[in-house]
Structure 1
Amino acid sequence: MRSFKRWLDRSLAAQAVLIFLLGVGASALFRRDDHPVFWVVQGALYAAIAITFVAVQRRRASRAAGTDPHGLVELGRRIRHREVPSEPGERESMRRLVDDQLSLLERRRRWLPYSLGFMGLTAAALLALGVATGSVVFPLVFAAFVIGFCCWAVWMRRRTLDRYHYMRAALREEHERVS
């Protein structure tokens, strides 16, 4: 499983295949009456949009860190495992990456309440519409999903911030010890 996760983390093609398969499965599940070709086209569209987004983000982050995409994946793994690099060049790349990602998270912080509120209003409106029409099951499932997704997003943001703050402190400590 660990090698599968590493392969999935490094390969955009593997991510594209996984997103394509999930898109086809979701289309088949929710649009049973449509032709299977429509499922495949929709899955390909989802995969193309998601991989374009991931590739742009990865390129921006690798440019900020001053490394290639493979080095960026390795730096991300080290941040997740709280490993401080021993080489000065890698430490500098990690410091730049951590600073860039922390500033990005801080810039996005002010929009978080609005996006969470928008998702909550959408769920509440769908729930009210479901109560008015008499179909409550799907709106309740959707509202539970939205609440779960919002809690997961806040938890992941906090966890990511903790990792980046830990790595920033560890890099500063390492820099002061070397100097």
Structure 2
Amino acid sequence: MSTNLQVATVGGGCFWCTEAVFQEVKGVEKVVSGYAGGNVPGEPTYREICSGLTGHAEVIQITYNPDIITYQDILVIFMTTHDPTTLNRQGADRGTQYRSVIFYHDDNQKALASEVLKQIQSYYDDKIVTELSALPIFYKATEEHQNYYRNNTTQGYCSFVIEPKLAKLRQLHADKLA
């Protein structure tokens, strides 16, 4: 394993979907589901996040090897496997916890993310509403939310919501798959 690993934090609706997408990408070492961007003190629970009242977004932290995949490639995959044009919504999931967001870790990530957002806009008819913010505290979700798709492939949500996102990933980014 490379000692030059880097971390990206993104939210594109339900973290089960984005987690499943990035677990298939070459150069991704680890994906952790969690929460970030809230405005209440203390560590939030899943139930509190789902209420939409804490201000947190469901996000994933992607640990990746930049010698294999770039930060820009991660963002392009992210931006093309969810709908970044719907405010606080992904499919049937509605609320600020399901917003499209890129949490940057430093000024370099901020600049690169801003450039990717500009470049990817032409891919969409509607305006991209993805939030670009500095990473606040990241809270890891409980174990039952980690590796959700891999552990629950026969569940309806996985079949009807996650699998179409994986199909899109495989169609658009086959060259980036593990």
Larger relative strand fraction: 2
Q: TM-score, normalised by structure 1?
A: 0.26
Larger relative helix fraction: 1
The structure whose Rg is larger is: 1
Q: TM-score, normalised by structure 2?
A: 0.26
Query: Higher relative CO (CA 8 A, sep ≥ 6), structure 1 or 2?
Result: 2
